[in-house]
Every structure is written in structure tokens, then in C-alpha cells.
Structure 1
């Protein structure tokens, strides 16, 4: 029996980590058929079935589980060894995969990314926007960016971007002319509110804080969307009150297309963090990115 190819073993680990050929193919930048062929080739060389495949699911056989348990650390050591050499380059090479919220992708990363990639031309950065919390390592990412209330305890967190952000409540002048301005967050229960639904299906609650008093409720109104551009356009057109990150509304607030309300109740919170798992051999592109944002 010929020894299995290292790339086939790596393909096997990629599929088992996410339990999907399509998802693994997207993360590795190859076709699902190429991964499927690599698994078939590996199974033929080993003489055992490693994965059970159906049109809807991928499960690991007992033999596959045994291989996965032993192979994971071994491939990690190989990757670490290669990255140890990579770190000696003037500019490391490789791919850095990040999973970040929409607000970070749109308003935090752009100035950071352009300077980072200019400083490290050998690195390719892949950014996936996701507003739900996921296991970034299991999904094939090197690191994630989230806010502190969503960080896992066993992760290392490094501040990135603005250290303070806040939500804004606003509506168009025409809307307030017709419906009046709320004087207290509870007054919003009588107003048309534009809601935001996360990809998880959860409808975002509105939270207002002043001193020791807190008001939290689920908005009700004529529009619920999962695309911020649609929500902002609806608010600007006078459909109702919107409540979201200041950064999303700043152009309309500055132009007067939207008018802020309940300013002394706006919720302030700490800015985002880059988070990653502690490991002995950190991939060189991730190390370069961490060093870059710490020095910024």
C-alpha cells in the first residue's frame, strides 16, 4: 500500500471539521468534487471507509474518527513547523481567514485591512461577515472578531478598532412631524419601529440605559429586515424609527435626513475584539495581523 498523500489527509480533516464537502470546499478555495475525489483516493489507499455520505449529511465512521483523533495534532505540528519557518520571512505568506460581524466588515476593518495588506503583500486575507456567534476554529477560520459579551472564555482577545461604540435611535424629520417625538423609550411602544432580524432568526431587542434605569423591548412595526441598507433607506423615507450602530446612520444624521432622538438613553459599549485560541505554533499570517493591530 502506498502512503497516503499529505494533501488527501488534509482534505479529510477539512471535511470532518465542518461535516460538509461544500463548506470545506469554500473554506479551502477548491471544488467539492476535488475534495470528494481526495477522500475516495484516501479510502482506497487505506482500504477502509472513513466517511458516510448522503445527499444531506456527512458522518465519520469509527475508523475515520480514530484517524481524525491522531491526525489532527500531527497536521497541526506540520503546519506549525512550516509557519515557524514562514515567520523568518521579511513578510510572511499565506492566507488569514477571519469571521466578523457586519458592522466590523463595513466600518472597522476597511482602514486596517488596506494598511495591513500593503505592509504584508504575501498574505491573502479572507473575511466572512456573520452576525451570529460560531465556533470559528471548527468552521475553518483562524480568528474571529466579536464584542466582549460574545467572547468565549478560553479565547485570547485583542482590542481592534474603536474602543467605544453606541447605538442610535433616529427617524426622518417627516416622521417626527407626523407622529411626534418620543420623550421616553417606553413611548416607542406606540411608534412604528423598524426591526432587525439576525441570520439565526432572532429579532434584535432595543436596549436603552440612563443611569440605573434600563428599558428593553422587542420592536414592533411595519418592517423587519436582515439587511441594514434596507432598514436605513426605510427610516430615511419616513417609515419609522430605527435603532442601530451610530456608524450605520452617521451619513444620514450628518445630512439631516435622519434626526436623533432619546440621546441621553443611548447605550454605549466597548468596541470589538479580535479573538483566537492560544496555540504553541500560531500561523504566521495571524501572528503578523495581531502584531499589526497591537502596534496600530
Structure 2
């Protein structure tokens, strides 16, 4: 048998790892049809089906899984070696597209982006802030930033930003004087709550936890908004109780413009992660950004 083309093996591994021709094509900046043809050539040479294809899914066959386990590390070593040679001669250049939650875009990414772009002036960083859970790779992004409860298990995740955060519920002193201070999360059902609407149209419930007791409520209130600026201004004006990231409220809590309620019911949670599906075929700007983020964590 003639030697197998490296490009066809790379195409197969890319599709098998993310289990999608469309997603793999987006990551490699090629057409899905070219990847499909490469996999067909490989299967014809091996006289073995490597991928099971349906209209809804792509999964490796038993033979395909064995091949993937053997070749993926080898392809990774080759890609890493080539990247090392390239990086020794030139600084990364090109565009890097990130999909991030609005809170991260507002409070965490700006300082990181400024320092990164100063170190890598050849990179153009494009950030799209969205709270909806989209397939960021199918949408053409190089990587995403999310919290661990919404990360797929097959993603590579790198900690980014503060490692602990918490939510806080707060209202203006005038509101609490007029309506009273809630002593239990269920008391919020009788209060005016300022609710956040996500891009998908979903309005999230509020969750509280204390001493292993978890309380989830569906708040009611006169205002529903999709921007934290409007929600925060409404809370300051006495419209109702707002629940959001503590970091967004801290200045107003310290000044007394807002008063936190139910503090002992708000538990910390893990900070955000930069995530991407594979270390192989990583564009140079993304590899530089991943290494940069890792370096900041080491320096923290």
C-alpha cells in the first residue's frame, strides 16, 4: 500500500474529534465538502469505514476510533513542531474571534485584551458579546469564554479571570424602606424584581443556596431588560431588587446607593474559562492568546 497522505489523515482526525464536518471545516477554514472527500479517500485506501454519518451526527466507527487514538498524538507533535519553527521566525499575525458573555466582555476581557494586543501587535482581536448558548465554532469563532456549567466535556478549558465569583441581590435603601427587607428567597415572590432577558428570549430563574438548601424562584417585576446598564440604573432609581454579578454592584454597595439582601444565600462559583476543541490545527493568534492567558494565571 502506498503511504497515506498526511492531509487526509488530518482531515479525518479533525472531523472525528469534533464529530461534525461543518464544525471541523469552520475550524480549519476549508469547505465541509473538501473534508468529506478527504475522508472518503482515506476510507477507500484503507477499505474500511472510519466514520458513521447520519443527517444529525458523525461518530467514529470502532476502526475509526482506534485510528484516531493512534494518529492524533502524532499529528499533534507534527503541528507543534511546525508551529515552533514558524514562531521562532515571526510574531503571530491575523485575526482572532472570541465569543464571550456580556459580563466578561465588560469586566474581564478589556484589561486582558489591552495587554495581549500590546504584546502581539500583528493580531486583530474581534470580540462578540453574547449570553446565548450558541455553537461558537459553527458560527466561525476561534474560541469562546464560558462558565464551567455550560462547557462541553470534550472542550479544552483554560482558566481566565477571577477564579471565584458570586452573585448578589440588592436594592436601593428607599425601595427596602418602602417594601421591607426579604429574609428568605421566597420572600422575593412578593417583591418587585428586575429581570434579565437573554438573547435567546429566556428569562432565567434566580437560585439561592444555604446549608445545602437550594431555593429556585421565578421572580416577578415591572422591568425586563437585556442590558445590565438599564437594570442597574433601575435598581438605583428604586424600581426593585436586582440580582447579578457582585462585581457589577460593588461600587454602589460600598457607597450605600444599593444595599445587599440575602447575602448568606449567595455562594461563590468558579470563574470563567477560555475554551476550544483541539490543540491541533490551532491558528497562530489563538495559540498566542492561550499561552498569554496561561502566563497571566502563573503570574497571578
Structure-1 separation of matches of 2:240 and 2:139: 38
Partner SS state of residue 233, structure 1: helix
Could you tell me whether the CA contact under 8 Å between 1:157 and 1:276 is conserved in 2? yes
Q: Does 1:244 align with 2:244?
A: yes
The CA RMSD measured in Å over matched residues stands at 2.6
Of residues 15, 22, 37, the one that matches 1:70 is: 37
Could you tell me whether the CA contact under 8 Å between 1:167 and 1:266 is conserved in 2? yes
Task: Give the TM-score of the pair, scaled to structure 2.
Answer: 0.72
Structure 1 residue 154: deviation in Å?
1.2
Structure 1 residue 280: deviation in Å?
2.1
Q: Does 1:129 align with 2:96?
A: no
Structure 1 residue 94: deviation in Å?
1.0
Q: Which residue of 1 aligns with 2:94?
A: 94
Structure-1 separation of matches of 2:240 and 2:166: 20
Could you tell me whether the CA contact under 8 Å between 1:17 and 1:139 is conserved in 2? no
Structure 1 residue 246: deviation in Å?
0.9
Q: Which residue of 2 aligns with 1:254?
A: 254
Structure-2 separation of matches of 1:287 and 1:65: 23
Structure-2 separation of matches of 1:267 and 1:203: 21
Could you tell me whether the CA contact under 8 Å between 2:22 and 2:32 is conserved in 1? no
> Paired residues, what number?
233
Structure 1 residue 70: deviation in Å?
3.2
Structure 1 residue 89: deviation in Å?
3.8
Structure 1 residue 101: deviation in Å?
0.2
Could you tell me whether the CA contact under 8 Å between 1:17 and 1:140 is conserved in 2? no
Structure-2 separation of matches of 1:72 and 1:86: 28
Instruction: Please list every run of 5 or more consecutive structure 2 residues that lacks an aligned counterpart in the other structure.
Output: 1-20, 41-74
Q: Deviations over 1:155-193 (max 9, x none)?
A: 100000000000000000000110111111111111111
Structure 1 residue 204: deviation in Å?
1.2
Q: Deviations over 1:74-99 (max 9, x none)?
A: xxx9xx79x83643345211111100
Range with greater deviation from structure 2 (191-200 or 274-283):
274-283
Structure 1 residue 66: deviation in Å?
4.1
Structure 1 residue 288: deviation in Å?
0.6
Structure-2 separation of matches of 1:104 and 1:91: 27
Q: Does 1:286 align with 2:286?
A: yes
**What is the correspondence of 1:1-296 to structure 2 with a 5 Å cutoff?**
66-67=33-34, 69-70=36-37, 84=83, 86-296=86-296
Instruction: Please list every run of 5 or more consecutive structure 1 residues that lacks an aligned counterpart in the other structure.
Output: 1-15, 19-23, 29-63
Structure-2 separation of matches of 1:72 and 1:209: 50
Q: Which residue of 1 aligns with 2:63?
A: none
Distance 1:145 1:177, change over 3 A: same
Partner SS state of residue 88, structure 1: helix
Could you tell me whether the CA contact under 8 Å between 1:94 and 1:285 is conserved in 2? yes
Q: Deviations over 1:177-223 (max 9, x none)?
A: 10111111111111111111111111111011112111111110111
